[in-house]
Chain A
Amino acid sequence: MDPLIGMGVLALIGAAAAVAGYTEDLESVVGSQSNPNSQVQLAPQMKYPHRLFNKAISGEPLSNGLAAVVGAVVASSFSFTGLSTLTLIVIGSLAAMLIHMILSTTSFFGRIASQSRFKQPIYMDVFKDNLPVIAAYAFMTTACVLIICTLMTSFLEILLPIPLLAFILGITVGSIGSSVGDIQYGAERLYQNLEFGSGINAAYSGNIVRKAESGIRSGIDNSWFSSKFGGPTTGLAFAGVLFMTSWITVLFNPEWGNAVGWLGFIAGILFIAATIFINRKLETSARRNFGPYREEEKTEIVE
């Protein structure tokens, strides 16, 4: 394959991946899925009932993997009709969105019904407001993953069946969204009543912020907040992962000889070394600028 076309495809994949990561994170924030769900789940028990959408289909990787696979399977089953690829992607994403909506609905009702002794009511307007947002984001994520799959199979010569590829990418986008994007939601947005600049003291677990600027906070308010930092970083991370892993094989295509392949290996190692260096710089600058939380003791601790 021409490396120039390869780079163009890579750019498209990166763009689709950025959108997929962004919407994936916001979808999980609206529904309080994944790790911060533990706090939303704990809040009524600590006598802080809330008006957040509490959905726990599973961890993000598995639920996104399911959505992507359902989309891919439905899209490829419809392929005999001869519709265009984009239409097929839309059909598949619609099916995935419907399944995701049903799973979200049952999770929302189930989790709150299982908390009845803590007197957390089921608010139907919360459900009706938040579900379309969740559905829209789920649709976007699935569509972007399917677009990436199509580009990969048709241009990058990864000859896997599309559902299998969608499974791998869905798990990856979910695990990135769950590890990168949720931090800002869980540690900052849910605990805006605590002082900025420290981890959440375990004693405050469950004491989440329930009031918004005006009225009572809902999942949509949280997605507004996360769309400014958590979502973009997730998109950046997913795009970076797909770009960097495909870049090795596109620019250093092993088809041109094993030596070129080994060059790709070296390039990968150099990139990892660069991330280590940047991380170290970040760490030292944070330590220098933020300073320690308590004074260094006079006596050194014996190690």
Chain B
Amino acid sequence: MEQIIESVNLILLSGPAVLLPENPLYQLLLLLLITLGGVLITISVHLIPVGGAPAAMAQATGVGTGTTQLAAGAGLTGLLVAVSIYLLSENPLLCILLGGIGSAIMIAIVMLVSNIGYIYGIGITPASGKAVRDPITKDRQDIYVSKGTEGHGIPTAAFFSGIAGGIVGGIGGSLIFVALLKATGLPTAATALTMPDAVILSIALFFINSVIASYNIGGTIEGFYDPKFKKLPKAAIVSAIITFICGILCLFIMIQFAGFGLMEEFA
């Protein structure tokens, strides 16, 4: 019995298989792309009009949910489109851009149906509380804001801002996903095995960056014309630093796990 019981993990855990990437410059480029992706996610959270809990009571302009959660929902939809495109096509640019489109479609449908709810379910007009005139259509806003609220619904400028945010956030998430998969150096057919790693790491980076952005805006924002949008540079710097640190770890993970993509036992 004593011969059987031995610390198997000392044998199994014999250190990483690959220590250094083969092409450091290429990996550095990927690291910068991942950082860019993180910053894009932060920007997207600032662009999407989110009213938080007050918006669900028609007390604030924007979509009535939390910033992190809406951005996550949109970003993950984009990521799903990016995954399905990556499995079908060899073109990374198409994958990234269609990821952005997927996010934007999600945000567009959510905002449109929310507006239907506000207009026909509650009987209010979409109006912004932060701008006197809509920056795009030049309509008066202040007289359409009901008493005791800070605006409600999603006016056209906020709608545009949300779609821009969806595109930017989807592109950011898909960029991280594609960069992580490219780090493995495997052909597209074999990356299906390392895809779960890339997806879960993209989701993790997405949540990290959207939480940073939502701490910066403090719950509610109306879009690019909101005064809070001017606080964006601070959040971008913080998210760039944290994404950079996490990006190094992520690239290391992908390089180490890439070896399994070629092993026959895993197929």
Which residues of A does B touch, CB under 8 Å? 34-39, 59-62, 156-161, 164-165, 167-169, 171-172, 174-176, 178-188, 190-191, 196-205, 229-230, 233-234, 236-237, 240-241, 244-246, 248-249, 253-255, 258, 261-262, 264-265, 268-269, 271-272, 275-276, 278-280, 282-283, 286-287, 290, 292-296, 301, 303
Q: Which residues of B contact A279 (CB under 8 A)?
A: 111-112, 115, 154, 156, 159
Contact of B101 among A37, A160, A168, A272 (CB under 8 A): A272
Is B7's CB within 8 Å of the partner chain A?
no
Inter-chain contact B102/A290, CB cutoff 8 Å: no
Which residues of B does A touch, CB under 8 Å? 52-59, 63-66, 69-70, 72-74, 76-77, 79-81, 83-85, 87-89, 91, 94, 97-98, 101-102, 104-106, 108-126, 132-133, 137, 139-140, 142-149, 151-156, 159-160, 163, 192, 195-196, 199-200, 203
Inter-chain contact A61/B117, CB cutoff 8 Å: no
- Known A-B contacts A35-B52, A172-B106, A183-B64; the reply to A245 vs B143 at CB < 8 A is no
A301 to B133, CA, bound (A): 10
Inter-chain contact B102/A59, CB cutoff 8 Å: no
A34 to B58, CA, bound (A): 15
A183-B56, A187-B118, A248-B101 are known contacts; what are 18 more A-B pairs with Cβ within 8 Å? A37-B53, A60-B65, A156-B84, A172-B77, A176-B73, A182-B65, A187-B56, A190-B57, A199-B151, A203-B148, A229-B121, A245-B105, A271-B108, A272-B104, A275-B112, A283-B125, A286-B126, A301-B142
A254 to B86, CA, bound (A): 9
Inter-chain contact B143/A296, CB cutoff 8 Å: yes
Inter-chain contact B199/A164, CB cutoff 8 Å: yes
**Chain A at the B interface: mostly helix, strand, loop or mixed?**
helix
A164 to B97, CA, bound (A): 22
A254 to B89, CA, bound (A): 5
Q: Which residues of A contact B80 (CB under 8 A)?
A: 158, 165, 168-169, 245
Inter-chain contact A198/B84, CB cutoff 8 Å: no
CB distance from B195 to the nearest CB of A (A): 7
CB distance from B170 to the nearest CB of A (A): 10
Contact of A174 among B69, B74, B119, B160 (CB under 8 A): B69
Q: Which residues of A contact B52 (CB under 8 A)?
A: 35
Q: Which residues of A contact B97 (CB under 8 A)?
A: 265
Inter-chain contact B70/A276, CB cutoff 8 Å: no
A182 to B55, CA, bound (A): 10
Q: Which residues of A contact B57 (CB under 8 A)?
A: 35-36, 39, 186-187, 190-191, 199-200, 205
Inter-chain contact A160/B195, CB cutoff 8 Å: yes
